[in-house]
Structure 1
């Protein structure tokens, strides 16, 4: 008890218990219901609201004054540059809503003016732009494809606020190496960039305002009646199962459609709400044909508000599924760090629920067990893909990967809720063939990357080459219907896995290729293993660009669900050829590389649903082609780049490959702030 409580007695409130009828007639009332006065007069005794009155004493006035002073202190701590009196006057004239809008706008301007003077390597900020989700990211920011496409001239990627950590396998590192090796600036000089802010846009593309962050998610029972009309969402569901589901089959399509049509009861937990809204959001995102089309943000916003309440109250299979879709939605919307964190949360929740184990008990049907298996391996493949895209260490271990079987290669009609045995694998292409292929590739790539990263003191070039050969053997061990180029349905998902296999193979070799190109200085490396690795990377890149162009020309699909992967794998493959052109512009195959890159540039400029990001990539590629054109390099004398090692101290040491040294050489002195090195000498790449 405080001294104030001891000096003054407790404040007494005088409640008025009179009914409304006696109060209007100004009669005495005994406070009962019904009261005696109304019973005697035979009147209706209307319940009145209890009015609590506080005495206007000096002590009460002191309390109010102290509260006002405390509120003023809180106000100026949050808005130090804004006047509370001015805000109060504006609220009295135009209303509270107008005053709040002006305060938020002025606060945003204040943050914008001070953000340029603040730099911190241990922070990242990402702003979702509902009007244009695929615009180039903020200055130095990391887009959903792992490349910094809006880096300002002279800015180091590690010093740019909002990018986060990226390692050797990321496209950002490769692009930065190209920029430092090129004889001129490769980034568009007229590229408009903007600083990342703490305050987000308050208006969505559909015209629906964002939910008030102070308003908690609704706790009412959720049912199918709470969803938008079927005519509005069924096309989104069709789009989801056409594009996203064939690559990441984490839900059971017949069950979802039956719930939406009312044939099956809809779950009432918050996880089910997050899942269904994210299905709508992802379907809208993939269905878009231009950057002005609806991107599904309004559904994502509803899922996000529900998730805020669900994450601290429950854990369910549906919530894991919804978070998985949300992670990919955020990554594709150029919010990769938010998506990365969301995916990690989904993986942790899945492990907590035991989804990572092949559970067989009486409580789970064969269908439920198979759905859990598909979900788990989808999480594994997405985690491996994010680790490769951003060059970050994975959060899974081989022990966890070996606790679950692979999904069955069988269509949905062969497994129903009443089956007591899992169907046998078929020798044909099914909906789940792509997931099985990607799961095997992810498990193999994860194992080999772990071997390379944990080679102490440093891996040799021969060890890296051996890992690449093992990955090639894994691809060759696939049955005929799972190999690249196999005929059958679901061509988009099968082609994407073919592009992904070459990209993963190239990523295993990327550190050696980067170091070889970084120290080439216009000359070929004399070591045969290094030359083999570099030539393999270039061959894989050419094959990917050829297959992507062939697929795009034969299967013209203007939807974002297809064009996003064309842009991603096309640009990753182009980077390998671009750095080859920059480091060896007089190579005998240089003209072949230029032709392939030029065809890819033409393809990128035709991607309507990804126009701004694709145009940004295409402009960078064209700038490199211009700088490395035969006429531009005729009189160009090879010269060592800044911080480049001499031939005697070259980084490509066949007896020990130094990942950290190479990464610091490419990223410059600023990279020392982001070194991710453990006591065991493991460096993330």
Structure 2
């Protein structure tokens, strides 16, 4: 018998090259009533935690299913870690974690970290944002990603404060569940949230058929607990709470947590249209709440299940009737398609959907609310409906995929032809001319102004990106001048339209619409800034350039009163202007652009050390927009994301006192 040497690995296993399973004698706990009470209490807490994470689990049944004869490896002690760790355990540079959305106290001993933003628009020094390609909005800032010094990382005090906050949230978890139950019993509050969802969100993305949802809500107690309707219900409340603004948002986390608790792998075991709708709602909501990678995966699951359900195929030619049920399949498919296209352009990741195998026709412009699921489809309406914006967005998404595939996804453009962006520009003009009259009419229903504006802003943003991508790869000097000029004038047009809308319809700017206004406005003003940084003597009138930048600044200042994303964008613009003023011949700035922002403190420019661009650790998506500029500091350093992002701390819309 070989005697163990008492070290790991032991001498025998080292000589024989065997896996050493040496472990020290286990520590024995005295069998006392106090210890038994503590263990029973711990078991009770673990069962409660298990039920919370998976409400469908049957604990006793799961315990019986465990193979009691299986030899379970004991947990490794710290002494053994060095011998069992494999190189493959090292995180990949594109790995990411957004788990704190599940519970604010999920990571109680983690310091606060900056996370990816839902718009993929600000650069990160960390690598855990996931892959962001060259077409992403964050690429627009690469050349100025070294303006400011790197901020210190989390300290011990920060970890301690995070731990205390998480402990406090954990203690309030029980009371939050009681509050959620009380809120759900208040039909007035729930009614307001549902109305907000269908009035401001479903009018752009009609994922749900309103009469069917309300009918199911009235009979919700009869719906099976494992039905995909339950996460849909809680996501409707989450989105409605977000749409209504900060006053209604203390409950938003509880609604989301309830939605997530009803989602599990069981949903993937049965294909249904309800499940596709649930993943669509979850994915788009998470993107807007700054969890883009989790949202991206949810949209991916919706896409795969949609293919499995054949949503990309039309009805057989011998079908007896074309009902609203079949139309709903078309609507859901084209929302899947549009979300996939939008995510691809926003993050710079490959677009999954391909027009080659899609035969599902576009939805009809009908008032769905007037019909039941088995109704025969009527003729299209001549006025705006909930499907109007989706139809236009779906057509635009087809062109968007072409822009991404031709200008951003390919590795090289050795034989680039300027006829490509010109043909895309022509297609966009044809698309715009083909829009129904209510896309240009002055008198339209108030609910339609927001969805219409977002569609038109997307078209302008797509044209900007088309010419931006073209000027990067064309070689002839005259072609570059053409691409730059068209790109800049399109950006100015975008600024003009967004600022005019915000000034004329301030009451329509709910958080969802403000999200798009901030995103497109910020990208447009950054395009103008980048060209000015690359070549101060660009062929654009200085007064016209300054007027556009000033309008964007003033609009963001107005949006920032209720929108944290706009506040962060405004701070970035202030830092850019500080850099311009430091030049030998700075451009004149309007008084509003030179004043300090309320609540925003910027470090003096003179204290920033020069950092060569090559020393900046940036995302792979951040290497195309700001190359060869004169910036030596990072104007984005210290910002917590765009919009608000704190992946490992509080859920971002919990009030500070929660």
Which category of TM-score, normalised to the shorter sequence, fits these structures?
A: 0.5 to 0.7
State the shift of 1:210 in Å.
11
**Aligned counterpart, 2:349:** 392
State the shift of 1:483 in Å.
4.4
Q: Secondary structure at the match of 1:494?
A: helix
Q: Secondary structure at the match of 2:132?
A: coil
Q: Of 515, 521, 534, which residue of structure 2 is paired with 1:583?
A: 534
Q: Deviations over 1:248-273 (max 9, x none)?
A: 10110111122223499756652111
**Aligned counterpart, 1:174:** 140
Matched, 1:410 2:382: no
Task: Report the CA distance shift for 1:354/1:486 in structure 2 as closer, same or farther (over 3 A).
Answer: farther
Kindly indicate whether the alpha-carbon contact (under 8 Å) linking 1:503 and 1:569 is maintained by their aligned counterparts in 2.
Answer: yes
Matched, 1:143 2:117: yes
Q: Which consecutive unaligned segments of at least 5 residues does structure 1 have?
A: 1-69, 76-82, 105-116, 213-223, 517-524, 645-658, 668-685
Q: Of 254, 259, 264, which residue of structure 1 is paired with 2:216?
A: 259
Cα distance in 1 between the residues matched to 2:364 and 2:249: 37
Cα distance in 1 between the residues matched to 2:564 and 2:114: 16
Of stretches 275-284 and 122-131 in structure 1, the one that deviates more from structure 2 is 122-131
Task: Report the CA distance shift for 1:91/1:601 in structure 2 as closer, same or farther (over 3 A).
Answer: farther
Cα distance in 2 between the residues matched to 1:233 and 1:276: 10
Task: Report the CA distance shift for 1:343/1:363 in structure 2 as closer, same or farther (over 3 A).
Answer: farther
Cα distance in 2 between the residues matched to 1:365 and 1:265: 29
State the shift of 1:526 in Å.
6.9
Cα distance in 2 between the residues matched to 1:74 and 1:505: 69
Q: Of 123, 130, 133, which residue of structure 2 is paired with 1:164?
A: 130
Task: Report the CA distance shift for 1:288/1:640 in structure 2 as closer, same or farther (over 3 A).
Answer: closer
**Aligned counterpart, 1:556:** 506
Kindly indicate whether the alpha-carbon contact (under 8 Å) linking 1:274 and 1:307 is maintained by their aligned counterparts in 2.
Answer: yes
Matched, 1:501 2:452: no
State the shift of 1:619 in Å.
0.7
* Correspondences of 1:12-51 after superposition (within 5 Å): none
Compare CA radii of gyration and give the structure with the larger one.
Answer: 1
Kindly indicate whether the alpha-carbon contact (under 8 Å) linking 1:203 and 1:210 is maintained by their aligned counterparts in 2.
Answer: no
**Aligned counterpart, 1:536:** 486
State the shift of 1:477 in Å.
4.0
Q: Of 255, 265, 273, which residue of structure 1 is paired with 2:230?
A: 273
Cα distance in 2 between the residues matched to 1:124 and 1:383: 20
Q: Of 568, 582, 599, which residue of structure 2 is paired with 1:616?
A: 568
Kindly indicate whether the alpha-carbon contact (under 8 Å) linking 2:495 and 2:548 is maintained by their aligned counterparts in 1.
Answer: yes
**Aligned counterpart, 1:599:** 551
Cα distance in 1 between the residues matched to 2:90 and 2:439: 51
Cα distance in 2 between the residues matched to 1:235 and 1:201: 31
Cα distance in 2 between the residues matched to 1:371 and 1:382: 16
**Aligned counterpart, 2:520:** 569
Cα distance in 2 between the residues matched to 1:459 and 1:661: 22
**Aligned counterpart, 1:358:** 314
Q: Secondary structure at the match of 1:356?
A: coil
Of stretches 469-478 and 544-553 in structure 1, the one that deviates more from structure 2 is 469-478
**Aligned counterpart, 1:38:** none
Of stretches 197-206 and 120-129 in structure 1, the one that deviates more from structure 2 is 197-206
Kindly indicate whether the alpha-carbon contact (under 8 Å) linking 1:350 and 1:356 is maintained by their aligned counterparts in 2.
Answer: yes
* Correspondences of 1:445-524 after superposition (within 5 Å): 445-452=400-407, 453=409, 458-481=414-437, 483=439, 487-489=443-445, 490-514=448-472
Cα distance in 2 between the residues matched to 1:203 and 1:409: 51
Q: Which consecutive unaligned segments of at least 5 residues does structure 2 have?
A: 1-20, 50-88, 106-110, 588-609, 616-620, 630-658
Q: Deviations over 1:163-210 (max 9, x none)?
A: 111112111111112435xxxx1x597799899999995877995459
Q: Deviations over 1:126-160 (max 9, x none)?
A: 2546779xxxx9766420011126x4xxx4xxxx2
State the shift of 1:559 in Å.
2.9
Cα distance in 1 between the residues matched to 2:33 and 2:547: 66
Count of residue pairs the alignment pairs up: 520
- RMSD of equivalent CA atoms: 4.7
Cα distance in 2 between the residues matched to 1:515 and 1:362: 49
Q: Deviations over 1:612-642 (max 9, x none)?
A: 332222111111122123865459xxx9986
Cα distance in 1 between the residues matched to 2:33 and 2:427: 69
Cα distance in 2 between the residues matched to 1:225 and 1:294: 13
Task: Report the CA distance shift for 1:267/1:437 in structure 2 as closer, same or farther (over 3 A).
Answer: farther
Kindly indicate whether the alpha-carbon contact (under 8 Å) linking 1:167 and 1:391 is maintained by their aligned counterparts in 2.
Answer: yes
Scaled by the length of structure 2, the TM-score of the pair is 0.68
**Aligned counterpart, 1:337:** 293
Task: Report the CA distance shift for 1:169/1:456 in structure 2 as closer, same or farther (over 3 A).
Answer: closer
Task: Report the CA distance shift for 1:631/1:485 in structure 2 as closer, same or farther (over 3 A).
Answer: farther
**Aligned counterpart, 1:7:** none
Kindly indicate whether the alpha-carbon contact (under 8 Å) linking 1:173 and 1:666 is maintained by their aligned counterparts in 2.
Answer: no
**Aligned counterpart, 1:287:** 244
Cα distance in 2 between the residues matched to 1:468 and 1:393: 19
Cα distance in 1 between the residues matched to 2:206 and 2:297: 21
Cα distance in 1 between the residues matched to 2:169 and 2:242: 14
Kindly indicate whether the alpha-carbon contact (under 8 Å) linking 2:365 and 2:387 is maintained by their aligned counterparts in 1.
Answer: yes
Kindly indicate whether the alpha-carbon contact (under 8 Å) linking 2:338 and 2:393 is maintained by their aligned counterparts in 1.
Answer: yes
Q: Of 427, 431, 434, which residue of structure 1 is paired with 2:382?
A: 427
Q: Secondary structure at the match of 2:487?
A: helix
Scaled by the length of structure 1, the TM-score of the pair is 0.65
Cα distance in 2 between the residues matched to 1:468 and 1:513: 14
Task: Report the CA distance shift for 1:370/1:628 in structure 2 as closer, same or farther (over 3 A).
Answer: same
Cα distance in 2 between the residues matched to 1:74 and 1:559: 63
Q: Secondary structure at the match of 1:145?
A: coil
Whose relative contact order is higher, 1 or 2, with alpha carbons under 8 Å and at least 6 apart? 2
Task: Report the CA distance shift for 1:289/1:664 in structure 2 as closer, same or farther (over 3 A).
Answer: closer
**Aligned counterpart, 1:240:** 197
State the shift of 1:470 in Å.
3.6
Cα distance in 2 between the residues matched to 1:533 and 1:90: 77
Q: Secondary structure at the match of 1:311?
A: helix
Cα distance in 2 between the residues matched to 1:546 and 1:439: 25
Cα distance in 1 between the residues matched to 2:459 and 2:576: 27
**Aligned counterpart, 2:261:** 305
Kindly indicate whether the alpha-carbon contact (under 8 Å) linking 1:170 and 1:390 is maintained by their aligned counterparts in 2.
Answer: yes
**Aligned counterpart, 2:650:** none
